[in-house]
Structure 1
Amino acid sequence: MFTDKGEYSFSTCWNIKRHDTGRGMIEEIKELGFRRVELNYNVTRELLSTIEPMIEQGEIAVSSVHNTFPHVADPDYGTDSVLLGFDDETKRQRAIELLCGSIDYAHRYGAEAVVVHPGEVPFEDNIDARLKKLYHEFGKNSPEYRRLWGEMLSRREALSLVYTRKIGESLERVSDYIARKGYDVIVGIETRSRCYQMPTPQEAKTIIDGLKGAPVHLWYDFGHAMMMDRMGLYDSVKDAHALKSYIYGLHIHETLELSDHYCPYVHSGTDVFDDFLDIVRDAPLKVYELKAICKPEEIEESHNRIIRKMEALAQ
């Protein structure tokens, strides 16, 4: 029923909440036609106890793991935190150690990459949630939205360089760790889903350029980038193409307005994803990152459309 997905990988974020065992979770993904998985940040050691034998026996390959891995319950080191940019040196060192631990797992499983949400410009509250509420209620061009957006952008731009530098210093230590261990693993810094989070594509370029050949690359998350484009932070299509040579990995999904992790083409009913097809074609690592409501037949249809459209592009 489902085609072999070849080089494409699939994130466990799709079905992790439906399973009590790692084996059951991976088997369901395999039924979709995927030979490779990305183990996301909610994968626990308990789930790994039944996934690891599958890896060892060649039943499944791991393309990537998502920091912090395995799951760490402390929100200070979760996916929405300052993480590699902490002002507190003790906390920042702990974040670095946890990322190095994720890298150890990636090497152990033969994975190519570790995906990391490197940090953010800290705010007292979740200003992104307030902005999205105004976006939905009044629109992007409303005075209410523009006023709060201006406040957010002023602080973000004032502090971006400070946190870019801190993240870069942290990733330099991580890169030294990879070199000492002799690992063939890259770190992918991911475009994010909240307007105060880092990096934008241009911030990623600054960080990567500063590391001068270290195994740190841009991980382009299409859905996140499309949402940030709609909110006004950057141009998702222009920046993706301008920084194409920096991109190693992708999270493939699409958006409905400011909601993400939908199947490209299928849920939006548009061809806007066409703008990214050459990025998908050329990226070394391609991972679907879809939400639980995406049905198997929708995933199959979405993938088949991407493949057909890329074949047409090649012609």
Structure 2
Amino acid sequence: MRKPVDIMATDFRALEVLVRVYHLGSFTRAAEELDLNQSVVSYTIEKLRGVFDDPLFVREGRQLIPTPRCEEVVIAAGDLLAQFAGITAAGAFDPSSSTDTITIACNYYERALIIPHLVHAMRAEAPNIKIEIVDASYLGHDKLMRMEADLLIGPFVQLGAAFYSRTLYEDPYVCMMDPANPAAKGPLSLEQYLALEHVYITYGGNWKSRYMQVLEAQGHALSIAMRTPSPAGIRNLISGTELAVTVGARLSRHLGEGLFLTPCPVEAPVAIQMVWTARTHESAMHKWVRNHVVQTIRATA
């Protein structure tokens, strides 16, 4: 029989230790960052193991692996710590004196079209704020839940009540090809589009672009000659060839210099979303960041 544990003896400091060990994957590094003795960190984790009736971390070789229960606790603890910080912090946020860090998850599209303008606008008001951009790939929502990112920007569908989201804009797809391509004469019919040899951008994972989803739902399949994880360098890939690539219209203006551009015959605009969680929902700083995202989109539309 499990020994009764006084859960009210668990404090925010203990939860902070747990969260730090989880993210750093090390008792030693967590102790260094928190300016604690490693024995204190070890004792705290051992105490929390009793509270949650779970080992929380197990060792596999030289790695410290969190258990599924640990991941659940860390997500909940992050929300609690953020809410408490919001209660105790001053109601107003002063960008001019802030040295806080904001972590944004996104992919190539957003890094090319949105992030540069956003960073310039934010740092004009908050010159000492720290900004970290991390790759979202197709795991953006997981990065939010694991507190590896504060904000997610991209064509990500909201998944469940744990997330807040706002549609920033919709971007129709266009097809890009070398001007010497025999198909580069005008608008493409669906039959002409399907007959092309395509470069398909996978965005580094299991992501499936919206136009591809619509094509498959209609029973069509593209002839894919090449797959690439990113649109970076795409112009050089298709120049001088009969290959074609499908990208968002805004991105085509960034990448398509010297190429023939025509609307994609698949009616499937991609919705660019801004997604966040309850952890940052009421934070004055994060409201300021989200407002800047919206203003940046309006200014660059």
Which bin holds the TM-score, normalised by the shorter protein? Answer: under 0.3
Higher strand proportion, which one?
Answer: 2
Higher helix proportion, which one?
Answer: 1
Which structure is larger by alpha-carbon Rg, 1 or 2?
2
